[in-house]
Amino acid sequence: MTRRKRELRKVEGEAQAKRLIALYRNAEADIVSRLQRMIDKYGTDAGKKPSVRLLRQQYKAIRQELKRLDAEGHQEAAAMVDKTYNGGLAVARRQLKDAGIVSGLAAEMSGVHKKALDVYSGQVQSRLSDLVTSAGRTVGDIYRQLQLNTAMSGAVAGTQTLKHVQDKMARLAEKGGLISFVDSAGRNWDMGSYVEMLSRTTLMQVHNAATWNEFAAHGEDLIQISYHTPTCGLCAPWNGKVLSLTGKTPGYPTLAEAEGAGLFHPNCRHASSLFIPESPEEMFGDAERLTIPEEKLTKYALNMDSERGRDKAIAFEKALGYNLNNYEDLISAVRGAVPNYEPESRGRNQYGDLYQTIVKIQGPSGKKANVLIGWIYKRSENEVRMTTIHVTDKEAKRRENPRA
């Protein structure tokens, strides 16, 4: 709901996510340790006959560990999604209440929210099961090769199989975990790092889904993306931007466009908040909300050496006494004057809504003169920015109820 750019927000569910990550990291470390002991005990010498029965017992124990991991992972994932979704829902309802859109904080969860909660829990649980299945294939591969080593003990083929298994274990030790997932970019993920990525991504996706569903349920279509630095190149263009959830509100980029460009990528930490737009006329009433680029004065309107700005610079010097040496005073004078004068709409172009204000200013010379200032209001940035400024003969029109 804020009219300012929001900083990154901590979301609910992080404690549950940490437990989920720890569960898989600990299980992975235990499984790798068991595999290494299997190699050390049953595969260190191709000339010795290892115990097939003990080998099978170790393999069965690891499979039981993976089965337990899958069951506990489902429980922890459901707890994480539930906590995160309800946290996002509570945030949305507080923002709606603060905006005066709802009168109280509803205690019950609607059918839309229950369905979304079930869908997200199922998605995370499915991906975790796929991860365990992939890890099981790695374990099974090692076990089968050890079995072959047992059957071929003493033969050349047995020695070659043993070397293959030892090479695989060396790669596991180097990576620090079971390589259980390869993404579309060819990157290898061990169990721990994959679950960490999945958890972080899920936290934001679920939190966002809860807030967006609740906003939409009350007819609110605009959100503002959190603002924080440093941020990645994919997210930087969307830092602090205002988006339309559905595309039904003209003048704003859509959530689909932002996501298509990379916002809310895996491991993304951006959040969003309810945005209630002000009219630009309201923003003109707050001097600090006005963006006045210094270069518009120093490189143009007060610069005698500027081919385009020379005439304006001469007029400012003659009428008011402003020049490059005191341009900051002109900025202060503009901020002080604009809230007292009526902004005039001048239409719209492809960049935003256009306005102008004509204000009366007293300059360093002691003289007074009217100054025309052009502005553009960019909806997606929630910003009123000065585009031009010059001395004018046109009359200034004061507000009936000035705000400053």
Give the pLDDT confidence of 291-307 residue by residue, as tens digits. Answer: 999 999 999 999 999 99
Q: What is the pLDDT of residue 167?
A: 61
| Residue pointed to by tokens 């099981």 | 136
Residues 58-83: pLDDT tens digits? 889 899 999 999 999 999 999 999 99
- In tens digits, the chain (404 residues) has pLDDT values of 334 444 445 678 999 999 999 999 999 888 888 877 776 766 555 455 556 777 788 889 899 999 999 999 999 999 999 999 999 999 999 999 988 888 765 656 778 899 999 999 999 999 999 999 988 888 888 777 777 665 555 444 444 555 555 565 555 545 556 666 676 677 778 888 899 999 988 998 899 999 999 999 999 999 999 888 888 999 999 999 999 999 998 888 999 999 999 999 887 878 899 998 878 888 888 888 899 999 999 999 999 999 999 999 999 999 999 999 999 999 999 999 999 998 999 998 888 899 999 999 999 999 999 999 999 998 888 889 999 999 999 987 787 655 54
| Beta carbons within 10 angstroms of residue 120's beta carbon | 22
Cβ contact 99:93 at 8 Å = no
Task: Name, in order, each residue with C-beta under 8 angstroms of 67's C-beta and a sequence gap of 6 or more.
Answer: none
H or E element in which residue 222 lies: strand 222-225
